[in-house]
C-alpha cells in the first residue's frame, strides 16, 4: 500500500495481536483501519472515534485513500490554536495520521500504538477543560 502523501510503499507493522499498522518511512505517516483504531482507543479507556467528535474540514486537501483512491477527509480537534488533525476515508474507514510528532524512526508497532493513544487522548480534550471527562 502506498503513502497518500508521497506514494512511497508503506511498511507493514504488527504488534502480534493481528493489528496492522502501515508506516511510511518517507514522511512518518501512519495508516490503520478504524476498527483497529477503535479497539486501541477502547482498550486504553478512550471513546471511540465517532464519539470523540472533531470537525471535518473539507477545505483541507488531504490526498487520496491508498486503498480505494477516494478523497480523504481531514478532521480537526476542537482546539482553537493548532488543532490536531487526522484524515479518514469515508469509504473504507481507513485512518491516516501524520505521526512525525510522536513517532521515531525504528519505533515498534507497540510504541507507535502508544503514540496513537496519546494523540487521541489530546484530541479528545475539549477546549476549556484541563482533562478529558468521562
Residue from 5, 74, 99, 116 binding Zn ion (CB under 5 A): 5
For the four alpha carbons of 90, 121, 41 and 7, in that order, the dihedral sign comes to: positive
Member of 6, 12, 101, 118 binding Zn ion (CB under 5 A): 6
Q: Is 19 in the site for Zn ion (CB under 5 A)?
A: no
Q: Which of 20, 27, 71, 73 binds Zn ion (CB under 5 A)?
A: 27
- Residue 67 binds to Zn ion (criterion: CB under 5 A): yes
- Give 3 or 49: the residue with its C-beta nearer to Zn ion: 3
Torsion 99-100-102-108 (CA) sign? positive
Q: Select 42 or 92, whichever has its Cβ closest to Zn ion.
A: 92
HEC secondary structure over 56-114: EECCCCCCECCCCCCECEEEECCCCCCCCEEEECCCCCEEEECCCCCCCCCCCHHHHHH
Contact positions vs Zn ion (CB under 5 A): 3, 5-6, 8, 24, 26-27, 29, 65, 67-68, 70, 89, 91-92, 94
Amino acid at each position: 500500500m502506498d503513502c497518500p502523501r508521497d506514494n512511497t510503499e508503506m511498511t507493514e507493522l504488527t504488534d502480534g495481536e493481528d493489528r496492522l499498522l502501515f508506516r511510511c518511512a518517507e514522511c512518518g505517516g501512519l495508516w490503520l483501519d478504524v476498527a483497529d483504531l477503535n479497539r486501541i482507543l477502547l482498550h486504553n479507556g478512550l471513546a471511540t472515534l465517532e464519539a470523540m467528535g472533531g470537525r471535518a474540514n473539507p477545505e483541507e486537501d488531504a490526498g487520496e485513500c491508498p486503498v480505494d483512491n477516494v478523497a480523504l477527509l481531514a478532521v480537526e480537534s476542537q482546539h482553537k490554536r493548532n488543532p490536531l488533525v487526522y484524515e479518514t476515508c469515508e469509504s473504507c474507514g481507513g485512518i491516516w495520521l501524520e505521526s512525525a510528532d510522536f513517532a521515531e524512526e525504528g519505533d515498534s508497532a507497540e510504541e507507535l500504538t502508544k503514540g496513537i493513544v496519546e494523540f487521541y487522548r489530546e484530541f479528545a480534550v475539549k477546549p476549556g477543560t484541563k482533562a478529558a471527562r468521562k
